[in-house]
Every structure is written in C-alpha cells, then in structure tokens.
Amino acid sequence: MAKKIVNLLILLPLGVILIVFCVANRQSVTLAFNPFRPEDQVLAVSAPFFVFLVVALITGMLIGAAATWFSQGKHRKRARTEAKEAIRWQSEADRHKNRAEEIAGQLPAR
C-alpha cells in the first residue's frame, strides 16, 4: 500500500510536468544533419520540439543503462561462479552427511 502511495506521489506530478512540457513545446523545428547545407531537406527532420527532447532523454537513459550493465559484468560473472561453487560445496557436504549417517547406522547399538 505504501509503495502505491509513493508511486502516486512521484508519478502523478511527473506526468503532469511532462504533459505541461509537451504542450508548451509544440512548435515545429527542423533538425538538419547536413552542416554544409542546412536547408537540404533530404538530411533534415521536422517535428515538434518536445519530440526531439524526449528522444534525446530516452537515448541518454538507454546509453547510461548499457554502460552500467557492461561495467557491472565482472560482478555478475563473479556472482555466477560463486553460486556454482556454493552449490558444489553444498552437494559435497550432503554427500558426506549421508555417508556419516550410513556409517552411524552400521555401528552396533550400546
């Protein structure tokens, strides 16, 4: 319940701000990819300004997420190898426990 309230308190104002931002930046702009002839329409894209800003924001988030993912790869690999080693040690301990119980069952009762 608390998580829903926190999400509502964060996401609702964020959504309102995003909507106001998009309405305020509706004017059409042209993004030219040819620096020598900016009027060339072949390498130009026209769209509302907020579209370019949102695309830049999403692109930045994806690049940041990818950089974080790749930089943490060594930690994930170490966690995988340690998990495999823990499973191996657990199975060896279980094998020794079963062997000890087997031996204890063969001893004469006193």
Residue % of the chain over a pLDDT of 70: 98
For 60-96, the pLDDT digits (tens) are: 999 999 999 999 999 999 999 999 999 999 999 999 9
Q: What is the pTM of this model?
A: 0.63
Residue 44 gets which letter from DSSP? E
Report whether pLDDT(108) > 80: no
Distance CA 26, CA 23 (A): 6
Over range 29-54, report the average pLDDT: 88
Q: How many structural domains is the chain composed of? A: 1
Nearest to 49, CA basis, from 78, 23, 67, 68: 23
**Residue 82 is part of which domain span?**
1-33+41-106
Letter for the amino acid at 11? L
pLDDT digits (tens, 9 = 90+) for 1-11: 888 888 888 88
